[in-house]
Each structure stands twice: as C-alpha cells, then as structure tokens.
Amino acid sequence: MSHVMNTYARLPVAFTHGDGVWLHDETGKRYLDALSGIAVSTLGHNHPRLVRAISQQASRVLHTSNLYGIPLQERLADRLAEISGMNEVFFCNSGCEANEAAIKLARFYGHQRGVDLPTIVVMENAFHGRTMATLSATGNRKAQAGFEPLVSGFVRVPYKDITAIRNLAEHNNNVVAVMLEMIQGEGGINIADDSFQRELRALCDERGWLMICDEVQCGLGRTGHWFGWQHAGVRPDVMTLAKGLGSGVPIGACLTTGRAAGLFKPGNHGSTFGGNPLACAAALATLDAIADDGLMDRAIQVGDEIRTGIAEALKGVSGVVDIRGRGLMIGIELDRPCGELVSRGLEAGVLFNVTAERVVRLLPPLIFTSVDAQALVDVLAPLIRDFLSQ
Ligand SMILES: *Cc1c(COP(=O)(O)O)cnc(C)c1O
C-alpha cells in the first residue's frame, strides 16, 4: 500500500523524462503532452534556456530568505510590472497562496475604508484553490463538501452576470472587491466576454471596489496575450499568477496597482520560500523565452489550428456541444460526462484531461508547433468520435 495520501485518483503511468512536447514512461512509450501538467510546463520539458538558468542559479545559491535583499526578485518584479502595467508584486509558491494574499489584501483594503465585514463577490464555477479561504471562494460545492464551516465574507453570483453584481451593489454595503477568472479553467473553459469585462471594470471604479483577476491558469501568454484581461483592454487592481510562471518550478505572485498598491507593510503578510532565487531565475527564463521566441503569437496560431482541426474532424458528429478557447487554452464540450476519454488518450499516447465532467481540456505547452497540433488532432478527434458513437 502506498504511503502517499490518497488525494488524487492517479492514472496508471509514471514518466521518467521529458523532451520538448513529449513525455516518456518507464516502458519507453512516449506521450504528446497537451496538458502541461495543468498549464504549468509553459516551455515544455527540458527547455535548454530554463535548464541553463536553473542549473546556473543552483550552483550559486538556492535560498536566502526574505529577511535579506533578493536581486532576482527585484528583477522579476520589474519584469512583471513591465508586462502588466501593474505596480507591486508579492511572491509566494502557488496559486492558492497568491489568492490568499489577494483575499487578505481586499479585506485589509475594506477595513481601511471603514468596512468592518468586508465581502468579496465571487463567481459560480470559479476555482481559486484548496486552502480554506480559496476553497470558500471556489464555486464548487463538491470541493467544499465536508470542510465546513467555510470562511465567511464571500457572496456568489452567476459567472458573467453584470446585473446580478449591480443588484448586489445596491443591497450590500460590505462589498469591497470582485474576484474572478477571465477564462474559467477548472469550471470548463468559460470565457468572460469583453463587454462584461469592461462593464465590470467600470462598476468597480464607480464603487471603489478592487477588481481581482485570478490569472493562475489563463495568464502568462497562454491565451495569446500575457494576461487574459488584456483581450478586453481592462486592467485589474489585483492579479494573481502561479502555474505557468516558473515553467515547472513552483512560484506564485500577487500583483497590485492603483488603490490596491502600497497597502501591505512589513508584518502584514509573508512567505518563507516565496520568491527565492531559484524560483525567480526560473520565472525570468520563462518570461524571456515567451517574449524572445514569439510564443504568444504562436499560441494564437497553433490554438486556432487545433480548434479548427478538431471542428473539421468532428463536423456532423452529434454530441459535440461547443469547441471554444483562446490561444492554447481550449475546451471541447460534449453532451455527456466523458472522463473515460482521458485513459483512452493515455493508451493512444496523448495527455489531456476532462474538467467540469463534460469538457475535454487542452493546455499544451506554448512551444507547441503546427506539426504537434496536427498530431494532436489526428489522435484526439477519432477518440472523441468513437466515444460519442458508442
Ligand atoms: C490551479 C488554480 C489555482 C490553484 O493553484 P494551486 O497552485 O494549485 O494552489 C487557483 N486559481 C486557478 C484559476 C487555478 O487554475
């Protein structure tokens, strides 16, 4: 019996090494990675630039502590500020920690404005993490069940429902922030349309609320822009990052600007590991590779090729509800639960997953090429067709 706690229903495969968009298992079989370890391996596997950056940093110093200056953290914060137009960065190690920082910040902001019970508006089908506060913000009853009492201070509205948020504004004087994913990942690749994003931005400004964008999954180039909110040209007051930031080395970040900046002072928040030199070196190499190698333009092009390829191959097949996404964040919604497709994919040598029960989710590394896209379509489309016709 395994001594690893049983928190994941694991597939019967273990990988020994990776190479670009490929992972290899113990038997020598190779798999096309169209999941990136859930949007983490931005640069695929064993990317030379990332390997070099990590190796060099490892031979110098791994960790010092936030009790001291960390020049690489300064550089990474500068770089993140430059690509986002935001102001300050707090570094941590994961998505839920980045969101915890954002939630604490929103409460802190509320108290400074004289709101004693600050409340954050969150969305149905949202996913923000597994810690108590982020689980409470998450819009998934199954994930919450058994862990009550949940953290208070959240009110939930349907995703993209600006009217519901406006109504809340009329009746609830405790609201201090709205927290959302511009593209819901775990919720099934649901995209907030540009008009909603702009209306929400205007409402937050009108009310003095913080707009908090959880960009943990959709951020960092995946959708063809650095960040999901850049499609509509809005900018949040607070943004959280993690998953793809270190391309496999754990690092998270909470960014602030405008009225959200300058709130935390020494003693208000912290992290032992957050932004250590190794993690920052990995993140800097990741951002540099995305920019220098044109990976965002490629994400748009290759993402389009995957979506149109799948759509053409599945034309006329009943049971396909929708094929949607932005760049290399793609969902194929079917009319029935389709979790078993994942193990069929594994057998056929492609890695993807299924979320929200009925949505095949593709999150390939940003180094995916047109050839990889075609290879993915060639395997995945017949799998879906066979599944739907059985
Ligand atoms: C994965 C995810 C998180 C949680 O990140 P962890 O690193 O697992 O804590 C939070 N928000 C979104 C949108 C995510 O996709």
- Determine the distance separating the centroid of ligand 1 and the alpha carbon of 112, expressed in angstroms: 28
Q: What was the pLDDT predicted at 120? A: 98
- Determine the distance separating the centroid of ligand 1 and the alpha carbon of 127, expressed in angstroms: 7
Q: What is the pTM of this model?
A: 0.98
Domains (ranges, CATH) in the chain? 15-33+294-388 (3.90.1150.10), 50-292 (3.40.640.10)
- Determine the distance separating the centroid of ligand 1 and the alpha carbon of 185, expressed in angstroms: 9
The C-alpha atoms of residue 22 and residue 45 are separated, in whole angstroms, by: 7
Mean per-residue pLDDT for 24-49? 98
For helices 277-292 and 71-84, the axis angle rounded to 10 degrees is 40
User: What is the band of 1 on the pLDDT scale with cuts at 50, 70, 90?
Assistant: confident
181 Cβ closer than 6 Å to some ligand 1 atom: yes
254 Cβ closer than 6 Å to some ligand 1 atom: no
Q: Is the pLDDT of residue 339 over 90?
A: yes
Q: In 3D, which of 314, 306, 354 has the Cα closest to residue 188?
A: 354
Mean per-residue pLDDT for 217-226? 98
Per-residue pLDDT of 87-115, as tens digits, reads 999 999 999 999 999 999 999 999 999 99
Q: What was the pLDDT predicted at 52? A: 98
* Distance, CA of 44 to chain centre: 16
Per-residue pLDDT of 262-297, as tens digits, reads 999 999 999 999 999 999 999 999 999 999 999 999
217 Cβ closer than 6 Å to some ligand 1 atom: yes
123 Cβ closer than 6 Å to some ligand 1 atom: no
Residue in 38, 122, 123, 127 to alter for ligand 1 test, most ligand atoms within 8 A of Cβ = 127
128 Cβ closer than 6 Å to some ligand 1 atom: yes
**Which atom number of ligand 1 is nearest to the Cα of residue 214?**
13
345 Cβ closer than 6 Å to some ligand 1 atom: no
216 Cβ closer than 6 Å to some ligand 1 atom: yes
The C-alpha atoms of residue 378 and residue 310 are separated, in whole angstroms, by: 9
Q: Is the pLDDT of residue 238 over 90?
A: yes
- Determine the distance separating the centroid of ligand 1 and the alpha carbon of 252, expressed in angstroms: 10
Sign of the Cα torsion 33, 331, 8, 387 reads negative
- Determine the distance separating the centroid of ligand 1 and the alpha carbon of 217, expressed in angstroms: 7
Task: Determine what percent of the chain is predicted with pLDDT higher than 90.
Answer: 99
Mean per-residue pLDDT for 192-210? 97
Q: Is the pLDDT of residue 7 over 90?
A: yes
Q: Is the pLDDT of residue 310 over 90?
A: yes
Mean per-residue pLDDT for 352-359? 98
Sign of the Cα torsion 217, 219, 225, 230 reads positive
Q: Cis link prior to 149 (omega < 30° from 0)? A: yes
If you average pLDDT over every residue of the chain, what do you get?
98
The C-alpha atoms of residue 238 and residue 262 are separated, in whole angstroms, by: 12
Q: Which residues are CB-neighbours of 276 under 8 A, at least 6 positions away?
A: 62, 63, 64, 70
Mean per-residue pLDDT for 16-22? 98
